[in-house]
């Protein structure tokens, strides 16, 4: 059960090995790796290629928010191991940006909890993307689809 926010890259194989090592109750490990993708944004008549971005975050709150999300996943599913590693700073297209790994005795819980964690961290953890375009820097706007994805997991009020 761990949350890390760091500037450095991570080694997926080494992270998964460390996460599952010594725990024989894990029957399934679901893993999500987010990458910075090359994007093309239309600005008027121009089409700009974005090939780098800077991720700003709120040190202190970020870790708390990710731990809250992790705790929520552990309440909802029978999980043996969880790991969230999120990078910040300047990242280029193709770079790894986030790792979410969830181990459970059974695959259904691992898949569901992994998707839940990714959906919630996008809308509940304080990160902001600043894109570099040939025309200058541009803050990324929140995506409505992300809110809808996160809302799928909201529990109906009692």
Partner 1 sequence: MKVRYFAWMKRTVGFADEEISPPADVRTVGDLVVWLRGRSAGHAEALAEGAAFGAAVDQRTATFDVPIGGAREVAFFPPFTGG
Asked whether the beta carbons of 84 and 122 are under 8 A apart, the reply is no
**97 vs 110, beta carbon nearer partner 1:** 97
Out of 58, 74, 95, 111, the residue judged to bind partner 1 by CB under 8 A: 58
**111 vs 128, beta carbon nearer partner 1:** 128
Residues sharing a CB contact under 8 Å with residue 5, sequence separation 6 or more, in sequence order: 57, 59, 62, 63, 66, 85, 86, 87, 88
Nearest of 51, 50, 52, 129 to residue 86 by alpha carbon? 129
**89 vs 105, beta carbon nearer partner 1:** 89
Query: Is 142 a binder of partner 1 (CB under 8 A)?
Result: yes
* β-sheet bridge partners, residue 128: 56
Quote the CA–CA distance of 6 and 46 in Å, as a whole number.
35
Query: Is 123 a binder of partner 1 (CB under 8 A)?
Result: yes
The footprint of partner 1 on residues 61-120 (CB under 8 A) is 61, 64-65, 86, 97-98, 118
Place of tokens 């259904």: 108
**110 vs 125, beta carbon nearer partner 1:** 125
Query: Is 143 a binder of partner 1 (CB under 8 A)?
Result: yes
Question: Which residues bind to partner 1, rule: CB under 8 A?
Answer: 34, 55-58, 60-61, 64-65, 86, 97-98, 118, 121-130, 139-143, 146
């Amino acid at each position: 059960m761990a949350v890390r926010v760091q500037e450095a890259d991570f080694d997926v194989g080494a992270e998964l090995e460390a996460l599952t090592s010594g725990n024989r109750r894990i029957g399934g490990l679901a893993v999500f790796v987010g990458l910075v993708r090359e994007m093309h944004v239309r600005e008027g008549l121009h089409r700009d290629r974005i090939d780098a971005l800077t991720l700003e975050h709120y040190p202190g709150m970020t870790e708390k928010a990710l731990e809250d999300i992790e705790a929520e996943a552990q309440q909802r599913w029978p999980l043996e191991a969880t790991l969230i590693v999120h990078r910040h700073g300047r990242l280029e297209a193709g770079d790894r940006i986030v790792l979410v790994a969830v181990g459970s005795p059974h695959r259904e819980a691992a898949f569901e909890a992994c998707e839940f964690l990714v959906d919630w961290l996008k809308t509940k953890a304080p990160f902001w993307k600043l894109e570099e375009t040939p025309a200058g820097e541009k803050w990324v706007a929140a995506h409505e689809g992300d809110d809808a994805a996160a809302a799928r997991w909201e529990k109906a009020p009692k």
